[in-house]
Amino acid sequence: MLANILIALIAALHLYILVLEMVLWETPRARRAFGLSAEFARQTKAMAANQGLYNGFLAAGLIVGLIIGDGGLAFKWFFLCCVAIAGVFGALTSSRRIVFIQTVPAVLAMLLLALGL
Model confidence, pTM: 0.90
CB 36 within 8 A of CB 30: yes
The mean pLDDT value for 3-18 works out to 96
Say whether pLDDT at 70 is over 90.
no
Report the pLDDT value the prediction gives residue 69, as an integer from 0 to 100: 82
Residue 43's pLDDT band, with cuts at 50, 70 and 90, is very high
Q: What percent of the chain has pLDDT over 70?
A: 100
The mean pLDDT value for 79-98 works out to 94
Report the pLDDT value the prediction gives residue 1, as an integer from 0 to 100: 87
The mean pLDDT value for 15-41 works out to 94
CB 21 within 8 A of CB 49: yes
What's the sign of the alpha-carbon dihedral 28, 42, 18, 78?
negative
CB 15 within 8 A of CB 57: no
Number of Cβ within a 10 Å radius of residue 32: 9
2/76 Cα distance (integer angstroms): 13
Q: What percent of the chain has pLDDT over 90?
A: 90
Write down the H helix ranges in the chain. Answer: 2-22, 28-34, 38-43, 45-68, 73-93, 98, 104-115
Say which DSSP state 70 is in: G
